[in-house]
Amino acid sequence: MSSERVLVELSKGVNGLDKIILRETRGSSAEVYLYGGHVTSWKNDHGEELLFVSSKALFKPPKAIRGGIPICFPQFSNHGPLEQHGFARNRFWSIDTDPPAFPTNSSGKAHINLILRPSEEDMKIWPHSYEFRLRVALGPGGDLMLTSRIRNTNTDGKPFTFTFAYHTYFSVSDISEVRVEGLETLDYLDNLQNKERFTEQGDAITFETELDKIYLSTPTKIAILDHEKKRTFVIRKDGLPDAVVWNPWDKKAKAMADFGDDEYKHMLCVEAAAIEKPITLKPGEEWRGRQELSAVPSSYCSGQLDPQKVLLGS
Ligand code: BG6
């Protein structure tokens, strides 16, 4: 069998960390590190990288990898007592060889199932037993699908509550030429203004300074239009009502040791999330949150994401 036909390959990544390479027969691919359950690469069938990973990313525990798709669990950002963005992004996940059946059929697609369970140390900082199953799958057209299933396995009868985000770093040609559609007129919490609540104007979101907002009750479809690349990313999400939009801009970029001074120009985070209304699970209950990413040529024109059309699921 030629190597192109191997759909799932276990390999070594930066600093000898284990990674899984997914390949789709038409040429698209993705890479997932067991460290963080972290997707670090998603390429289209021309071999073009669609995710941003900083040239200064450390790939060294306990620092989370800067870029790709960190998983924020059980806490988004500093919205709680735990470390920033929780601990799932800097734990070692395992390959889940025998996951319970998934509602969405991924058979035939290149996919990998990972699992995270708490260690004794983790139980000291977040005293709950859980199983976090993550499936990363590459669709035939190169779409990247992430499905998270989190189950409360507490035996003490206690529920637990968490917030969550897929902290996706998209690669863009020039942040000044990018706009985000689908979040117009929505309420948001501004992380740069003490999480105060505001309402977005009617226009698509563009970027000319630092931005760090949590959009609330967002549609299931959001688009990032990159004019220079003539590419549009479409994010479809399920179980994740909120969407964080973040670009650190120049000052914060300089302050981050694992991020290049000018790299803010070439990335944008749009994060499918559940933050405003934290998820509570009783023992035995399971939550599911899914995001599907596609990259399409920009003939996909503006206006397609007007709220009415989105609500109707077009
Ligand atoms: C975003 C937050 O999701 O992540 C920002 O909204 C934060 O406030 C950013 O700065 C990066 O966080 P970290 O912990 O990866 O540096």
In the block, tokens 């995270």 appear at 116
Q: What is the pLDDT of residue 102?
A: 75
Which segments of the chain does DSSP mark as H helices, in order?
A: 120-125, 249-255, 307-311
244 lines ligand 1 (CB under 6 A): yes
User: 314 in a domain, yes or no?
Assistant: no
For atom 2 of ligand 1, the residue with the nearest CA is 77
User: Residue 48 phi/psi, 5° resolution?
Assistant: -85, 135
| 266 vs 20: CA distance, rounded Å | 25
Q: What is the pLDDT of residue 14?
A: 98
The sheet carrying 144-152 orders its strands as 94-95, 110-116, 130-138, 144-152, 286-297, 231-238, 221-226, 178-181
User: 2 in a domain, yes or no?
Assistant: no
Q: Please state the rounded mean pLDDT for residues 129-146.
A: 96
User: 86 in a domain, yes or no?
Assistant: yes
Indicate if the pLDDT at residue 97 is higher than 50: yes
Indicate if the pLDDT at residue 240 is higher than 90: yes
Could you give the number of structural domains in the chain? 1
Indicate if the pLDDT at residue 29 is higher than 50: yes
172: containing domain = 11-297
233 lines ligand 1 (CB under 6 A): no
User: 308 in a domain, yes or no?
Assistant: no
Q: Please state the rounded mean pLDDT for residues 92-118.
A: 87
Question: Bigger pLDDT: 10 or 306?
Answer: 10
Tell me, in angstroms, the distance from the centre of ligand 1 to residue 77's CA. Answer: 6
The model's pLDDT over 254-291, given as tens digits with 9 standing for 90+, comes to 999 999 999 999 999 999 999 999 999 999 999 999 99
Residue 256 and residue 66 in contact, taking contact as beta carbons nearer than 8 Å: yes
User: 304 in a domain, yes or no?
Assistant: no
Q: What is the pLDDT of residue 93?
A: 98
Indicate if the pLDDT at residue 310 is higher than 50: no
Which one of 52, 78, 79, 167 would you pick to mutate in the ligand 1 pocket, going by the greatest count of ligand atoms within 8 A of its CB? 167
Q: What is the pLDDT of residue 313?
A: 44
Mean pLDDT of the chain: 93
Q: Is 89 annotated as a binding residue?
A: yes
Indicate if the pLDDT at residue 118 is higher than 90: yes
Q: Which atom of ligand 1 lies at the shortest distance from residue 212's CA?
A: 6
Domain with residue 214: its CATH number is 2.70.98.10
Q: Please state the rounded mean pLDDT for residues 223-245.
A: 97
User: 4 in a domain, yes or no?
Assistant: no
User: 57 in a domain, yes or no?
Assistant: yes
Q: Is 84 annotated as a binding residue?
A: yes
Indicate if the pLDDT at residue 2 is higher than 50: no
Q: Please state the rounded mean pLDDT for residues 132-155.
A: 97
Indicate if the pLDDT at residue 98 is higher than 70: yes
User: Residue 250 phi/psi, 5° resolution?
Assistant: -70, -45
Dihedral angle sign, alpha carbons of residues 267, 138, 76, 184: positive
Indicate if the pLDDT at residue 1 is higher than 80: no
Question: Please, which pLDDT band fits residue 108 given cuts at 50, 70 and 90?
Answer: low
Residue 223 and residue 232 in contact, taking contact as beta carbons nearer than 8 Å: yes
Which tokens go with 59? 């790939």
Q: What is the pLDDT of residue 106?
A: 60
Q: What is the pLDDT of residue 304?
A: 52
Question: Please, which pLDDT band fits residue 298 given cuts at 50, 70 and 90?
Answer: confident
Question: Please, which pLDDT band fits residue 105 given cuts at 50, 70 and 90?
Answer: low
